[in-house]
Structure 1
């Protein structure tokens, strides 16, 4: 047996001022946080040998940035609203969301649902340090959306821990950095009713604002077009909500973008929602191929594309202007044809993944990186391959000859028939022949939409 002779020494907490200048930093002309003594260098986390000191210092700088963003949100015409309704900030447990002042007057509304670890209105702390605060936060996204006449609703999936000491909801990172007796989260005292997790938060916000977004029975409001821009677990929460409530929303939702989502085919049981995801949704993932490159991936029930990013948090800041927003415009111009037909020979894909050979090209755009041009072929010339492998809009699946008929997931009836197979996430080539014939498949290939 061992026993401690020397008593445990509790180090006194060090508090840092919430002032960038006193912390040794400033915001330069390029909207970047830089050190006063070293203007060419950004934030340095490891300045002390005690991790707790570094943690609290970073939280002080994060609070400075939050205050800067609060001012900019107001300048962009967004107002904080606290939920549950009737709660008093600073006294009652509540969580803030952002709503644009013109949301009741616009025809289009962009609903932004972020991940579970960021502050309200933030995409990536990494991107705020460089290229700029506006780039890493949602300010840049908001400004470009306003130019396209979108109203905005921004949910708050990250600040899901309520701190009575601070009188506000905070992220888990801020909660750990706060001065308190214990980091333990009390599931009653430290949670906001109706917003205990991302799924409940999404449900509570959309149910509360449903009347303003899609109207209630008896209300004579001009129909709004709803566009969802989601990231990570935020998309999962939305999919779980729509899986139950899609009937109420389907006439208003125009499109959905999911950046590195965590939802899968198993989360979707509604045939109508599944049909919507195949025809009006797109997933963008961490991948080395150029932005907008089609990636054969069945996880999300929707077409999946590369972003040329190595961190999930940088996907939207770096892909919104050139890839995602143009696709939203395409949806507005051609709702039924916004997702072109993609034919995929899943057997060749599986063989490629497992290193069996077969198809050796990649699905890169023929005409540059423009995501609106949907013809793909190999990187190298035809002479380098035994057979031509092409992926064309409405054409043959790459590596698949003699394709005569496909499952058309744009057709609700066929989509319902394909529901079971997709829910089990099976490759159609492994299904029974009778099932294939029933769905109109005469070859081991399936179009991914």
Structure 2
């Protein structure tokens, strides 16, 4: 195990890696249930309570698990990083509500588009083109990405707990602080913060478990025991159902879908990996060692996931919870993959942990990830402005990709009109132009 993961070299231990893997798993296990609940909408007539609904929901659930397990194992065993992967939130919504429901594309054709996108990713990764693009991203945007993801993940946690709610007049507002979910989440957050300040190992995991227990108390009643073992659903309804016939491949619409999946996935993954790597201290001179192997994980996961029957697989920002617990090697990812695979058999037990118990972990991780901002040269306004735009637009637009896009568009413009145009890499200009076209013409 030492030879495979180089634990001593990375200043970690088996115990730390296992705790980190469990923590990451608990913060992202929701996708096993959320992803099928989104994808099921592409099946006509699959209404709750019907056999068709049960058949496809179960199949999408298994596809979600297997796609996640495949990609996460590649990340852990080949790239040796503590990053977990699963079908991306936002990408699954685009797959369902834009491609299938709005554009009227059959879900089998949409899966084919995801599969092709993954193959393109694999080719770009193996050729080294993907690493070239990463190196062309401005340093200030890379640093702001980590902090932006921290704000984004904290916002997800606040929203999940009900601490922040929507408001028709102000868009967001403070939630009901007397709500049991809010109270449990707040208590959980302080438990994690205090334990972490006291250097208690497994502080985040203890906070999640403590919040789950507190939620079961009669005064709150938000934790509901769902059982332990359930039957493994049948995946045959979605397995290898991609429609790759010539008629579909010959249409411009198909390739536009492929491009959009590719575009969003590329920069979501870029932003997430950069942010996670910055927070964990993996970056060396602005680059991520073994970057191609890490990118290969989500590329393979995307194509394999499409074969099982799920939308694009990508690196999860929730991996930051495990990193905060000390996860530094691929052993963390292997633990996540094993636990995710167990969800096939223990899904009722996993459903016992309420969102109010995992939300505090996400909020606290936001605190830890914001520290990358100190490395930005805020005295240079041509670096500060793009960094700020990247930082603020991720949570404000609920998208990592949008934050990166707007940050990269801002960077060359500010540099040019400040007399520092020569500092801009030619490929950054190209990316900025492509991002403008994407944001105006392609983004739904």
Q: TM-score range by the shorter chain?
A: under 0.3
Bigger Cα Rg: 1
Q: Which has the higher contact order (CA 8 A, sep 6+)?
A: 2
Compute the TM-score of the two structures, normalised by the length of structure 2. Answer: 0.24
Choose between structure 1 and 2: higher strand proportion: 1
Compute the TM-score of the two structures, normalised by the length of structure 1. Answer: 0.24
Choose between structure 1 and 2: higher helix proportion: 2
